[in-house]
């Protein structure tokens, strides 16, 4: 192995350079530990503090300057920042990480004394007829194009799904000149009832933010349809029309250049699950989350998890949770430099933010998977339909893993990241536990050249 992998050492590895990872790395480095910060992307910042390319920043300005400042502080603090570095595997409770250079495929092994996983989240998609057509994308994709690249995903756009995230995406699209044909929200979050007011009082800032976005949409005359969902997307080589259904039974069709559909976020938990940490159901009942204490320590000694991969709670909670985990690691590895009282204050804040995440789950509940038509593809990679999955589950022989084996659902290049929660729901054996596909190495498809050629050189 030594011949194919470049070895390195650090006190702590932080996997993921988003808000949680950045805040954690800063605390750890300032605490005197050697820190390596790893991110698959070619820039730090993660999804929230993502970086506009230099050439575009010169023309369009800095995107989220707070992120720029945070990244500068992290670099100045002596953190070994390795972007373009995929962590594709791990063992020994996370004290050994296997990496691959995204550009060259070169392999590396990092040995640490503790590891913090801050791999964030990605968007939750739910299948419907036509969702694999080109032009059907996640809202995050449209946001990325609008904010980073200043490109509208289409001249005419339909936004759909559920969750507060649809609002800033809509506003970003308007800013780059797209026309939003409709914002189709599954739930009724924008007529707050009694149940949401208590939460709203706790987090007035978040609701004020939503109100600002809604005002912008109203000013642009954007049609906001609540209690509605996408029934199907149509098109030959790309999407051209969308069927929308209202819960009262009404159905109408919109012509569009692009359809963005998302149902909130899913935590990226592959690494902690690969390392065998205990998991539990998240509040939506659809995800297995690493079990963590208030500092982000998992059941695996020396392995910590912070940010959205420990449960969706947004950027502010992510930063705080990253710092809390870093303080916990400091207490462990450099007790003389740990600042315990600060951590206590921050722990209270993290709890408050977690409560807001629970509120979001109440306002934006997920739809059932029961009405996904049999003919609809669930696994995009392997082209497996809901009917095939149901049929495999109906034999009574198959649990989730057996269903995967029987249908190939989840065996494609995305490793079941897009379809795993759906297959689990369709194949569930109904004991109140959402299973999930086993996390397997490599976490992303890994070029084999380095392994093979490395050995040749020997």
Partner 1 sequence: MTQPDVVVIGAGILGASAAFHLAERGYRVVVLERGAPNREGSGTTAGNLHIQAIHTRRPGQEVPVDSARLLPLQRRASDHWSQIEERLGADVELRRGGGFMVAETADQEEELREKHEWERRAGIPTEVLTGDEARKQLPLLSDRVRAASWCSLDGYANPLLITPAYLAAARRLGVEVHAFTPVTGIQQVGDDYKVLSGDRSWTAPVVVNVAGPWITEISALAGIQIRMSPVAIQMHVTVRVPPVMHHLVQHIGEGMSVKQVSAGNLLIGGGWPAAALDMAGRSTVSVPSMAGNLAQAGRILPFLGELRLLRMWAGPLAATPDEMPVIGEVPGHPGFFVAGGTYAFTLAPVWGDTLARQIAGEAPADPVDDLGPGRLLHDDATTPVSP
Partner 2 sequence: MSTNSLPQTVTVTIDGTPGQAWAGQSVTAALVSAGIWPLRRNPVNGQLRGPFCGMGVCLECEVTINGRPGSRSCTAHVTDGMDIRTHTEPLQTAAHG
Q: Write down the least CB distance from residue 1 to partner 1, Å.
A: 5
Q: Which stretch, 130-138, 203-211, 217-225, 335-343, contacts partner 2 (CB under 8 A)? A: 130-138
Q: Write down the least CB distance from residue 414 to partner 2, Å.
A: 5
Build a one-symbol-per-residue string for 353-392: x at contacts with partner 1 by CB under 8 A, - elsewhere: ----------------------------------------
Indicate whether 428 belongs to the interface with partner 2 (CB under 8 A). no
Per partner kind, with CB cut-offs from 5 to 8 A, the member of partner 2, partner 1, none near residue 98 is partner 1
Taking the least distance from each CB to partner 1, the nearer of 4 and 118 is: 4
N- to C-terminal Cα distance for the chain? 10
Q: Do the Cβ atoms of 305 and 290 come closer than 8 Å?
A: yes
Indicate whether 288 belongs to the interface with partner 1 (CB under 8 A). no
Can you list the positions of beta strands (E) in 311-442?
377-379, 384-385
Q: Per CB under 8 A, which of residues 223..252 are in contact with partner 2?
A: 237-238
Q: Residue 285: left (phi > 0), alpha (psi -120 to 50), or beta?
A: left
Q: Write down the least CB distance from residue 299 to partner 1, Å.
A: 14
Q: Write down the least CB distance from residue 406 to partner 1, Å.
A: 7
Contacts of 102 by beta carbon, 8 Å cutoff, 6+ apart: 40, 42, 84, 85, 86
Distances (CA, A) of 285 to 132, 266, 345: 26, 12, 30
**Tell me, what DSSP letter sits at residue 53?**
P
Give CA–CA dist 193/201, Å, rounded.
Answer: 13
Distances (CA, A) of 278 to 60, 77, 305, 358: 45, 33, 12, 21
Q: Per CB under 8 A, which of residues 234..273 are in contact with partner 1?
A: none
Neighbours of 203 (CB within 10 A): 18
Residues found near partner 1 in the complex (CB under 8 A): 1, 4-5, 89, 91, 98, 396-399, 401-402, 405-406, 408, 411-413, 415, 438, 440-442, 445-449, 451-456
Tell me which residues touch partner 2 (CB under 8 A): 40-42, 47, 52-56, 58-62, 102, 122-123, 125, 132-138, 140-142, 144-145, 148-151, 153, 237-238, 380-383, 413-414, 417-418, 444-445
């Amino acid at each position: 192995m030594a011949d194919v992998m470049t070895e390195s050492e650090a006190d702590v590895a932080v996997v993921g350079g988003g808000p949680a990872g950045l805040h954690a790395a800063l605390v750890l480095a300032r605490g005197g530990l050697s820190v390596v910060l790893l991110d698959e992307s070619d820039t730090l910042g993660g999804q929230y503090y993502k970086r506009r390319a230099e050439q575009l920043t010169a023309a369009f300005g800095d995107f989220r300057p707070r992120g720029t400042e945070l990244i500068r502080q992290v670099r100045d603090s002596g953190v070994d920042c390795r972007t373009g570095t995929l962590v594709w595997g791990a063992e020994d409770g996370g004290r050994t990480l296997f990496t691959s250079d995204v550009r060259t495929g070169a392999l590396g092994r990092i040995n640490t004394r503790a590891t913090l996983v801050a791999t964030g989240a990605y968007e939750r998609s739910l299948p419907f007829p036509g969702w694999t057509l080109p032009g059907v994308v996640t809202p995050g994709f449209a946001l990325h194009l609008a904010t980073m690249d200043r490109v509208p995903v289409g001249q005419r756009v339909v936004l759909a799904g559920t969750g507060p995230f649809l609002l800033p995406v809509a506003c970003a699209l308007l800013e780059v000149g797209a026309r939003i044909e409709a914002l189709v929200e599954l739930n009724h979050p924008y007529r707050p009832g009694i149940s949401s007011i208590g939460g709203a009082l706790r987090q007035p800032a978040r609701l004020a933010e939503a109100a600002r976005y809604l005002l912008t949409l109203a000013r642009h005359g954007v049609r906001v349809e609540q209690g509605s969902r996408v029934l199907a997307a149509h098109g030959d080589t790309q999407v051209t029309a969308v069927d929308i259904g209202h819960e009262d039974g009404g159905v109408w069709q919109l012509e569009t250049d692009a359809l963005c559909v998302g149902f909130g976020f899913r935590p990226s938990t592959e690494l902690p699950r690969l390392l065998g940490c205990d998991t539990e159901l998240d509040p939506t009942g659809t995800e297995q989350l690493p079990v963590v204490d208030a500092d982000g320590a998992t059941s695996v000694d020396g392995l910590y998890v912070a940010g959205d991969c420990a449960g969706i709670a947004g950027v502010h909670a992510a930063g705080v949770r990253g710092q809390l985990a870093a303080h916990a690691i400091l207490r462990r590895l450099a007790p003389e430099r740990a600042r315990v009282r600060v951590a206590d204050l921050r722990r209270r804040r993290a709890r408050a933010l977690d409560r807001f995440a629970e509120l979001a789950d109440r306002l934006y509940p997920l739809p059932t998977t029961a009405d996904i038509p049999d003919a609809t593809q669930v696994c995009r990679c392997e082209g497996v339909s809901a009917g095939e999955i149901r049929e495999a589950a109906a034999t009574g022989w198959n649990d989730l893993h057996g269903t995967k084996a029987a249908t190939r659902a989840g065996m494609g290049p995305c490793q079941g990241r897009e379809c795993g929660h759906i297959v689990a729901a369709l194949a569930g054996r109904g004991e109140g536990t959402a299973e999930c596909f086993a996390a397997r190495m490599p976490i992303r498809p890994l070029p084999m050249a380095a392994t093979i050629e490395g050995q040749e050189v020997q």
